[in-house]
Chain A
Amino acid sequence: MRRRLPRAAAMPLLFAGALVLVLSVFSIVGCQKMQRRLHESTPATALPAWSPGSQLHAGVQPTPLPVKNPYEGSSYAMSEGQRLFEWYNCAGCHFRGGGGIGPALMDRVWIYGDDPASLYSTIVGGRPNGMPAWRGKIPDYQVWQLVTYVEAMRAGRGIAAPPGPRQEHLQAGEGKISR
């Protein structure tokens, strides 16, 4: 014999069920966002062959290059990128994204492209008038972590906002740069 639950008892049950569902979805999504790989591989990313000067002209938006950022949406990589941005003295020219000696990274003007592959090749290969080439100096996975961080800046999320509940780098004694 089946007995139907009275409505008063069913409501809390329903609520609890919904809560469990929401929490489990959050935990799965959250885990992926927070996931960190401690052991990264170093071989360089193969970008499609093109010469830096040929199709990129200042002021003209180039077509995005078909390479995906392997750390897309990873809070951990973003936080690591933020640390490396200071460690490798990107802040020395770009400051904290506001620009100064180098161009601003928070605005919408990207003369050499704002897609992940363009950012990658800007860091690795350098650009005319000041941006040095970091090929061989910054391991490939760290370049992608920097790309993740720069992309977050460009999206206008604000640098002061922590990329996740666990702010990884916590450089209290560092990063005291204006702007």
Chain B
Amino acid sequence: MRRVFAVLLLPAALCAAAGCRYVTLDRATPQADAITDMHWLMFWVLGAVFALVLAALAIAVSRRSRAPIAGGKDPRFFAVAAATGVTCAILLLLLVASVVTGRAVSTPPEANALDIAITGHQWWWEVRYPAAVADDEVLTANEIHVPVGRSVRLHLASTDVIHSFWAPNLNGKKDLIPGRSTGMTFRVLRAGTYEGRCAEFCGYQHAHMGFRVVAEPPSEFEAWLESQRLPAAEPGDAARVHGHEVFLAGPCVNCHAIRGAGAFGRKGPDLTHLASRSTIAAATLPNTTGHLAGWIADSQRIKPGNRMPPNVLPSGDLLDLVAYLRSLR
């Protein structure tokens, strides 16, 4: 009996140890509400069915067998017929609930929905906020800011393999399929930071392909969007000026863009406002000076197989480069 309890408690203990970063039942959107309600409906209904079946089995096992009745109807006929009827009714109920939930999750958003284009790459997320004027477009990576209370419509695509967008607090999973456009809608009801992962195995570093959704009040969101539209900050001092030169002279510029600083690479994440993001390497490391320097010097030790080559730089160059990148707020 104690062992049974231990098995039942194991998931809860693991969850507590992991700090509960991904809790599907901690809902933050009407879409997640619908999924959670469906979850609890199925949990209680199927739990009750399980208990009833076990009880019936216990009775059947413990009761002494009786002699068959000669002639007339077998009284067990009614029990079997009733059980079949109830089973069909329950399955029908769950079917209807499932269809209703599916509709609630995929409801078209309101007219003023915010469009965000998400592109999956091995192994990071490109995030683009389209605008009528190309210069007003915002390009960032791995951190998605959304306004609270407004519908958000995600346009999902992939350039290499199939990925899957999954932020458990916000909605279900949705695949990003090369050559196809998929979509997802949600409306975040309370401010906060929600973690998400890639939920479809996509190669070596699938496990290190995370992202964050930052939900903030509309005014703060607009201010953030406005700040992201600006070109990169000018390097303020001699060290940062040198860091900028190192960036342009080395391999960084082949793949990364810094708007307003002469870097136009589009294969890696846009670094125009790198310092405004809370993590690097797709939510793998916190965005600090030390982690950034380690990542630039040898990202293959941190995330083996990722597309960024190791960079052997003189320590002075590396420090200036990191100082420059850390100034890109």
Q: Is B81 interfacial (CB 8 A cutoff)?
A: no
A136–B250 alpha-carbon span in the complex (Å): 6
User: Residue of B at shortest CB range from A172?
Assistant: B178
Chain B minimum-CB-distance residue to A142: B309
Residue of A42, A142, A169 contacting most chain B CB atoms (<10 Å): A42
Instruction: Tell me if B151 counts as interface (CB < 8 A to partner A).
Output: no
Q: Name which of A139, A171, A172 has the most chain B CB atoms within 10 A of its CB.
A: A172
What is the 8 Å Cβ interface bit string for chain B, positions 248-263, against chain A (1 contact, 0 not)? 0111011100000000
Decide if B311 is an interface residue (CB 8 Å cutoff).
yes
A123 to chain B, nearest CB (A): 13
- Total A-B residue pairs with C-beta atoms closer than 8 Å? 56
Chain B, residues 148-185, CB within 8 Å of chain A (1/0): the string is: 00000000011111000000000000000011000000
- Within 8 Å of chain B (Cβ to Cβ): is A1? no
Chain A residues whose C-beta falls within 8 Å of the C-beta of B312 in the assembled complex = 42-43
Query: How long is the Cα–Cα vector from A138 to B309 in the complex, in angstroms?
Result: 9
In the complex, the answer to whether A42 meets B254 with C-beta atoms within 8 Å is no
List, in ascending order, chain A residues with CB within 8 A of B305's CB. Answer: 38
Q: How many residues of A contact B (CB 8 A)?
A: 20
A138 to B250, CA, bound (A): 8
- CB closest chain-B residue, reference A87: B267
Of all chain B residues, the one with the shortest Cβ separation from A38 is B304
For residue B266, which residue of chain A has the nearest CB? A87
Query: Does B300 sit within 8 A of A, measured CB to CB?
Result: yes
- Tell whether A88 is near chain B: CB-to-CB under 8 Å: yes
Interface pair B160/A170, CB less than 8 Å apart:
yes
- 16 further interface pairs, Cβ-Cβ under 8 Å (given A38-B204, A39-B301, A40-B300): A38-B300, A38-B305, A39-B310, A41-B310, A42-B309, A42-B310, A42-B311, A87-B255, A87-B267, A137-B254, A138-B254, A139-B310, A142-B309, A169-B160, A170-B161, A173-B179
B-to-A contact residues, CB < 8 Å: 119, 157-161, 178-179, 204, 249-251, 253-255, 267, 300-301, 304-305, 309-312
CA–CA, A105 and B105, complex, Å: 52
Residues of B within 8 A of A169 (CB): 160
Chain B interface SS verdict (over half): loop
B-contact 0/1 string along A61-74, CB 8 Å cutoff: 00000000000000
Q: Are B251 and A138 in contact (CB under 8 A)?
A: yes
Give A169 to B159 CA distance when docked, in angstroms.
Answer: 10
> Does A112 reach chain B (CB closer than 8 Å)?
no
Residues of B within 8 A of A137 (CB): 250-251, 253-254
Contacts of A141 in B (CB 8 A): 309
Q: How far is the CB of A48 from chain B (nearest CB, A)?
A: 23
B178 surroundings in chain A (CB, below 8 A)? 170, 172-173
Query: Taking beta carbons and an 8 Å cutoff, which residues of A are in contact with B?
Result: 38-43, 87-88, 136-139, 141-142, 169-174
Residue of A nearest to B177 (CB): A172
Interface centre among B157, B304, B305, B310 (most CB of A within 10 A): B310
A88→B312 CA distance, assembly (Å): 20
Contact indicator A173/B159 (Cβ below 8 Å)? yes
A136 to B246, CA, bound (A): 11
What is the distance, in angstroms, from B235's C-beta to the closest C-beta of chain A? Answer: 20
Q: Within the assembled complex, what's the spacing in Å between the Cα atoms of A142 and B308?
A: 11
When the two chains form the complex, which single residue of B160, B255, B301, B311 contacts A172, counting CB atoms closer than 8 Å? B160
Is the Cβ of A172 less than 8 Å from the Cβ of B159? Answer: yes
Minimum-distance CB pairs A-B, first 4: A172-B178, A173-B159, A38-B304, A139-B309
Measured CA separation A136–B158 after assembly (Å): 30
Across the interface, which residues of A come within 8 angstroms of B267, CB to CB? 87
Q: Kindly list chain A residues whose C-beta atoms are within 8 Å of the C-beta of B255.
A: 87
Chain A residue nearest in CB terms to B312? A42
Decide yes or no: A173 and B251 within 8 Å by CB, A40-B309, A42-B310 being known contacts: no
C-alpha spacing A137/B247, complex, angstroms? 10
Q: Are A173 and B254 in contact (CB under 8 A)?
A: no
**A87 pairs with B254, CB closer than 8 A:** yes
Least CB distance from B293 to A in Å reads 16
Once bound together, how far apart are the Cα atoms of A174 and B158, in whole Å?
10
* Closest residue of B by beta carbon distance from A83: B307
Do residues B159 and A136 form an inter-chain contact, with CB atoms below 8 A? no
The smallest C-beta distance from B320 to any residue of chain A, in angstroms, reads: 16
Does A172 lie within 8 Å of B300, measured CB to CB?
A: no
- The interface centre, meaning the residue of B250, B254, B305, B311 with most chain A CB atoms within 10 A of its CB, is B254
Determine how close the nearest CB of chain B comes to the CB of A101; give it in whole angstroms.
Answer: 19
Of the residues A40, A136, A173, contact of B157 by C-beta under 8 Å: A173
Residue pair A136, B249 in contact (C-beta under 8 Å): yes
Q: How far is the CA of A177 from the CA of B301 in the complex (A)?
A: 34
Q: Which residues of B contact A39 (CB under 8 A)?
A: 300-301, 304, 310
In the complex, what distance in Å separates the CA atom of A55 from the CA atom of B311? 33
Q: How far is the CB of A124 from chain B (nearest CB, A)?
A: 13
